[in-house]
Structure 1
Amino acid sequence: MKGNPLRRVFPHAVLAIYIGISLFPLLWVLNSSFKTNKEIIASPWSLPQELLVANYWNAWTGTHISQYFMNSLFISVVSAVVTLTLGTATSYALTRMKFARISKVIGRVLLLALIVPVGSLLIPLLLLLRDLQLYNTPLALILPYITMGLPLTVFMVSAMMKSIPSELEEAGIMDGLSIYGILWRVIVPLAGPPLVPVFMLDFLSNWNEFMMANLFLTKEKFRTLPVSMVAFYDQLNMNYGSLCAAIMFSLIPVVLIYLIVQKRIIASVKA
């Protein structure tokens, strides 16, 4: 029956259970970050008796987390911005210009790049970076991140650009705009909201990446935050509260970026 209230309640109940399961680890880490070691071991599910803010200070000053934090932020933002810029330009060329054969070849190459597992490229990339003298430099991660993120970015942006009417480009040509002018002054402003989730996806992928960061950057001054989390276990001398605080630091950029661009994300979903 259409009026059956169970049909209306069931989807919301499933969604609520899914959200609860997804948020539970985050809430547990947040709760533990304000507790002492004794409280975490004796009663891991209880609320802290008092908010121990010293865990955050200990995590920030007792390790080089501030340096690792800035390294990850710089590498992730630069890689995501360059990936989105190149991906947008490539998508415009593939979808709006008349290069039938070349477009098909490039599309197949990009599709093949999505199939190749990242793990199979680690050793060749390592040897290439050493030959180019880029090993243990920020470019050792920035360049692979751009390369790995470009295929998916091109496919996502291309799907969005196909929905933009060609009449808008013709109007730009009548106004005397060049190809680059049409792209950056007509297409990109129209594609602004859908481009935000693409940037978020690239940023999160770069921010959370571990394998290449662990292999290509061995110098401590260039180490990223995900790799450093492994070392925090020893550096913090089994201080679980400070370790949880360090994990919360790694979530700050993700939460801030989402809060800043959430309206654009919602707009892109509605579009």
Structure 2
Amino acid sequence: MPAFLKRVLPHAVLMVYVVIILFPFVFVVFSSLKESSAEISQAPFAPPKSLYFQNYADAWIQAKIDVYFVNSAYLSVTAAVVGVLIAAGTSFALTRMKFRITSKLVFQLVLLGMLIPGNVLFISQYILMMKLGILNTHWALFWPYTAGALPFSVMLITAFMKSIPNELEEAAIIDGLSAVGLFARIILPLTLPALVTVFIINFLGNWNEYLLSNFFISKDALRTLPTGMVGFRDMYQTNYALISTGIVFSVLPVLLLYSFLQKQIIEGITAGSVKG
């Protein structure tokens, strides 16, 4: 095979793959900017004749996408942030503090937590939320979201913290930093790529979660976007333009996160893969 073809072929294959992946999303965006379902059915894959942004206003206000969007946004962000902080503190204790037996025991429990599928815990979580009296409130989603993400979060952050040189810790202690100061001023800033990666992964998991939000929340004003979109779909099942607009709203935060934080995501995922 010629050298030129060897260089071009992988790029050509990747471009074809990108086109295949992006095509459904482009179709949805085009459909959301068309005025009616008739225009979509007449030319489903063609660009809109004119940009009809009224669909976005209608979906945002009339179809209550604004309520569902805000509920999902603040629940996903707060649960992800709290989960990252708890996981970071746990990882710091496991990797930088001298608790050999305790650290090994906790780490084994974390590994055990990764082996248990989340759906297996559904009934026990429901009973727990019911006994706590927080069913049909956002706390019923916040606590499972936060706790369910801890095993993977601790594993990833621990791998990154192990790669931080011990000399930095020793120098900080000589300068008079306490354990809290060492964690807040030295370890956390150096662990930022892993923290960002864990935050995004947890955020996406919370943002797309459907099972718990469907059974733990029955009030329409408290529903998150995945469960709200089901009612939205049933209400506007013949209006494909509005349905496409709702889909765009649901994927927009994910696209923005990846667009601005893709470098940190890659650095965090590869943390601990190379030693020395």
TM tier, shorter chain?
Answer: over 0.9
TM-score under structure 1 normalisation?
0.93
Letter in 2 for 1:181: G
* Structure 1 ranges of 4+ moved more than 6 A: none
Q: CA deviation at 1:70?
A: 0.5
Q: CA deviation at 1:208?
A: 0.8
Moved more, 173-182 or 247-256: 247-256
Q: CA deviation at 1:205?
A: 0.9
SS at match of 1:256: helix
Map 1:17-166 to 2 at 5 A: 17-35=16-34, 36-166=36-166
Q: Distance in 2 between matches of 1:270 and 1:131?
A: 41
TM-score under structure 2 normalisation?
0.92
Aligned length: 270
Gaps of 5+ in 1: none
Q: Is the 8 A contact 2:156 2:269 kept in 1?
A: no
Q: Distance in 2 between matches of 1:112 and 1:99?
A: 19
Letter in 1 for 2:151: P
| Corresponding position of 1:10 | 9
Q: CA deviation at 1:268?
A: 5.2
Gaps of 5+ in 2: 272-276
| Corresponding position of 1:261 | 261
Q: Distance in 1 between matches of 2:133 and 2:87?
A: 26
SS at match of 2:149: helix
Q: Is the 8 A contact 1:113 1:151 kept in 2?
A: yes
Q: Distance in 1 between matches of 2:69 and 2:172?
A: 43
| Corresponding position of 1:211 | 211
Q: Is the 8 A contact 2:217 2:223 kept in 1?
A: yes
Root mean square deviation, CA, Å: 1.8
Q: Distance in 1 between matches of 2:200 and 2:240?
A: 30
Letter in 1 for 2:8: V
